[in-house]
Chain A
């Protein structure tokens, strides 16, 4: 029997216990991994061990998929009316809402993100997303198509069956909701692999899935082995998984797509990395632009796929912008620390590995001649993985700091003269996830956002994701869309039915 992780907290932000099961959640129950392995889960604010959780291997994935298949044929899929699937999802949301503070606290412990972000953003978006998809479950429509009166032609939008989902560590619980919301609403059954770095809120969520009364096997989560390779590979190669949805690095995304090609050509959707441009024109509201630029790159310590990490500033306001922006960044240094402390706004990056990666990007930038206008080093806090908010100036397009995704609180600022120049530099990337434009001119706002090659564009704001607006990338940032009505299409396959009405040959 898997153990329960439990800890008592007494902090300004949260007082009470925080707990979750540490097993794999398969077929409606928590179980140990077949091969008995475990993974260490670390608190990034302290660098210390929080708990161990079960490590799944391909054997566990096989069991999970078999259970999912069975559930799909008997107690889920189109065997159950959409309204009923929706009611279960709404029940799940209601249970989460009743325990939201504890979930927020658990997320803070595991990810290091400040309470204000965890409770104020992650949890809120998670609840909105679950409730939203609960409402879609009985609204999945095909079409009837007029051909001629001797044919009844219509489409069914059917679920795939067993879908595999692999999610990252930057917004653990929110990512669960983005994935299972539309998948379950449309009648699929799920085998979900949380990140091995941040499995705790997903595991706690699985208890709610149990409590809500989902049929066993309908929504399954299995934890993953240390490298992610074993269970993740098993899912991407599995012959009975009909579709896989992955959010994570472009590097791993390629492996997922390759695995699909080598196995059963399962349908793939990918949400990958980004190096999103934030273009600030002379006529921008400077004060607002600074605030949004900071949100765009320093939120979640820059560990956001849509982070506005390349900031293009028109020469007319460049000096004023840099001054104000660096003041905003510097201000975060005194608000850095433990997620539960009052006033903490800036947290650690999620792990030692990530910390090393971010620091090496910073070192490479310096080596290539970019100037660390502010930051560019570890925070004075010795415990945990804290990187100071960092702004590089004097950047040129070919520098690594301008080309490669850092996934940390590091901005590269580039000066520009003309609109065309900015658009060209902004599009000069293999990525295409998001972009932002700051201008008070309506024509320019629409014209420039039209011209940028990205799946999401923000005008006079940045990274404000709405649960009902589609989310996804162009180019090597991925394909397929999450959120909004578009995710319903992502999780259904179309069958066209042609019924002959009276045509004799």
Chain B
């Protein structure tokens, strides 16, 4: 029997006990990996080990898929009415709400995002997502299409079957909820791999999945590494569809594996280098606040972070001064600290990577206007909010996704020119426009090649509004009714009621 991890929190913001099962969750029970090996889960604030969890391998993926396939054929899919699937999801949401603080604490400990943010936004939003899709479960319909009176022609939107899902470490619980909810609502069964860096909140929720009474095998969680479990899922011959969120680099591997195995249906949410364009007529104070939120929230570890900030020359100096002052106000520290805003980067590897980008910026001649250093201990994972100016478009810090609290601020003159610069990227996840002018707002917004465009705001996401990337930021959409399209297979039925073949 796999172990249970218990932790007594003793912090200014939370001091209760949390308990997590640390096994793999397969066929409705927690089990040890077949390899009997473990993964150390590290606290990014301290570098110390929080606990071990069971490590899954390809053979565990096999048994998870078997359980998922079984459940799909007997106790899920179209074997149960949509309303029943919805009721399980509603129940799960209610149970999560009852343990909200505990789940938030586990997440904050594991991922490093400030507890206040996780408790105040991440967990409630995740619960809201599950409720949103619970409501869709009995509202999935196809079309009846008029052809001629000798035929009855209609479509069925059937669940695809067993879906594989691979999620990252930057917002673990939210990633978990946004993946499982639409898939389950539409009738699929799941084998999901949380990041090996941040498995704890998913494991905590598995206990609630058990308590909610989901039939065994409907949701299976296999914690493991990308090159073992991730790879096994991407190439599995009995997984019908894969949904991946993570780096563009890994996204290519997933797509390749899908194409080499059984051509499984694929959706990808990948990286971004999203432009935030601020015009002269913007409300500058608001633009500053949203821009900060856009790049420094969650330590800049957000795929749609507004990392390239384009400021029109008329307000450039004012914006830069205010943006700098505002960024300095962020308190950096332990996520459970009383007024912490920014926590650590997720790991020493990531921290070094971000520091590497900062160095490249300096090396390539950009100016460090603010920050650019580690904060606190020199081998810790905290990085100061960083602002680069005097960049050129070809610099690495302007082209490549850094995934840290590092912004580049670029002066521009002309609307057409900034649109062109903003679109000059392989990415296309999000973009923002700050202007008070109605025509400029829509013209520029519509011209930006991004899956999400914010006007006079940033980072606004909603369970009901689709999200996804253009170009190399991904394929497919999550959230809203659009997510459901990626979790159903359309079958067209042609019933001949009157045509005779000669």
Binds A, one of B1-9, B51-59, B353-361, B435-443: B435-443
In the complex, whether B95 has a CB less than 8 A from a CB of chain A is: no
In the complex, whether A143 has a CB less than 8 A from a CB of chain B is: no
- The residues of B that contact A485 with a CB separation of less than 8 Å are 139, 141
Most buried by A among B86, B135, B138: B135
Binds A, one of B126-134, B189-197, B317-325: B126-134
**Contact (Cβ within 8 A) B446 A149:** yes
Q: Which chain A residue shows the least CB distance to B87?
A: A131
- The residues of B that contact A139 with a CB separation of less than 8 Å are 132, 135-136, 139, 464, 481
In the complex, whether B338 has a CB less than 8 A from a CB of chain A is: no
- The residues of A that contact B149 with a CB separation of less than 8 Å are 450
**Contact (Cβ within 8 A) B139 A499:** no
- The residues of B that contact A137 with a CB separation of less than 8 Å are 135
User: For residues 70 through 99 of chain A, which have their beta carbon under 8 Å from a beta carbon of chain B?
Assistant: 82-83, 86-87, 90
User: For residues 124 through 152 of chain A, which have their beta carbon under 8 Å from a beta carbon of chain B?
Assistant: 128, 131-132, 134-139, 141, 149, 152
- The residues of B that contact A446 with a CB separation of less than 8 Å are 152, 495, 497
In the complex, whether A468 has a CB less than 8 A from a CB of chain B is: yes
Selected from B135, B443, B446, B495, the residue in CB contact (under 8 A) with A135 is B135
User: For residues 451 through 502 of chain B, which have their beta carbon under 8 Å from a beta carbon of chain A?
Assistant: 463-464, 481, 495-498
Main secondary structure of the interface of A (DSSP, over half): helix
Most buried by B among A87, A141, A468, A485: A468
Interface size on B, residues (CB 8 A): 29
User: For residues 111 through 139 of chain B, which have their beta carbon under 8 Å from a beta carbon of chain A?
Assistant: 128, 131-132, 134-139
Given A135-B139, A138-B464, A502-B497 contact (CB < 8 Å): no
**Contact (Cβ within 8 A) A135 B134:** yes
Selected from A141, A450, A501, the residue in CB contact (under 8 A) with B439 is A501
Given A149-B446, A446-B152, A128-B83 contact (CB < 8 Å): yes
- The residues of B that contact A141 with a CB separation of less than 8 Å are 481
**Contact (Cβ within 8 A) A443 B464:** no
- The residues of A that contact B135 with a CB separation of less than 8 Å are 86, 134-139
- The residues of A that contact B496 with a CB separation of less than 8 Å are 443
Q: How far is the CA of A152 from the CA of B447 in the complex (A)?
A: 13
- The residues of A that contact B152 with a CB separation of less than 8 Å are 446
**Contact (Cβ within 8 A) A132 B83:** yes
In the complex, whether B90 has a CB less than 8 A from a CB of chain A is: yes
Q: How far is the CA of A312 from the CA of B111 in the complex (A)?
A: 69
**Contact (Cβ within 8 A) A132 B138:** yes
**Contact (Cβ within 8 A) B439 A468:** no
- The residues of B that contact A499 with a CB separation of less than 8 Å are 438, 442
- The residues of B that contact A131 with a CB separation of less than 8 Å are 83, 86-87
In the complex, whether A505 has a CB less than 8 A from a CB of chain B is: no
User: For residues 133 through 165 of chain B, which have their beta carbon under 8 Å from a beta carbon of chain A?
Assistant: 134-139, 141, 149, 152
Q: How far is the CA of A135 from the CA of B497 in the complex (A)?
A: 37
Q: Which chain A residue shows the least CB distance to B83?
A: A128
B236 to chain A, nearest CB (A): 32
- The residues of A that contact B443 with a CB separation of less than 8 Å are 501-502
**Contact (Cβ within 8 A) A138 B463:** yes
User: For residues 432 through 474 of chain A, which have their beta carbon under 8 Å from a beta carbon of chain B?
Assistant: 442-443, 446-447, 450, 468
Q: How far is the CA of A204 from the CA of B285 in the complex (A)?
A: 53
- The residues of B that contact A90 with a CB separation of less than 8 Å are 90
Selected from A82, A500, A501, the residue in CB contact (under 8 A) with B446 is A501
Most buried by B among A135, A136, A450: A135
Q: How far is the CA of A373 from the CA of B64 in the complex (A)?
A: 62
**Contact (Cβ within 8 A) B132 A83:** yes
Q: Which chain A residue shows the least CB distance to B140?
A: A468
A486 to chain B, nearest CB (A): 11
0/1 interface trace, chain A 491-505, chain B, CB 8 Å (1 if under): 000000001111000
- 29 CB-based A-B contacts, threshold 8 Å: A83-B132, A83-B463, A86-B135, A87-B131, A131-B86, A134-B135, A135-B135, A135-B136, A136-B135, A136-B139, A138-B464, A139-B132, A139-B139, A139-B464, A139-B481, A141-B481, A149-B446, A152-B446, A442-B495, A443-B497, A443-B498, A446-B497, A468-B82, A468-B139, A485-B141, A501-B442, A501-B443, A502-B439, A502-B442
Identify 17 new A-B residue pairs, CB closer than 8 A, beyond the known A135-B86, A501-B443. Answer: A86-B131, A132-B83, A135-B135, A136-B139, A137-B135, A138-B464, A139-B132, A139-B139, A152-B446, A450-B149, A468-B138, A485-B139, A499-B438, A500-B439, A501-B438, A501-B442, A502-B443
Q: Residues on B close to A: CB < 8 A?
A: 82-83, 86-87, 90, 128, 131-132, 134-139, 141, 149, 152, 438-439, 442-443, 446, 463-464, 481, 495-498
Please give me the 6 A-B residue pairs with the lowest Cβ-Cβ distance, nearest first. A135-B135, A443-B497, A501-B442, A446-B497, A502-B439, A446-B152
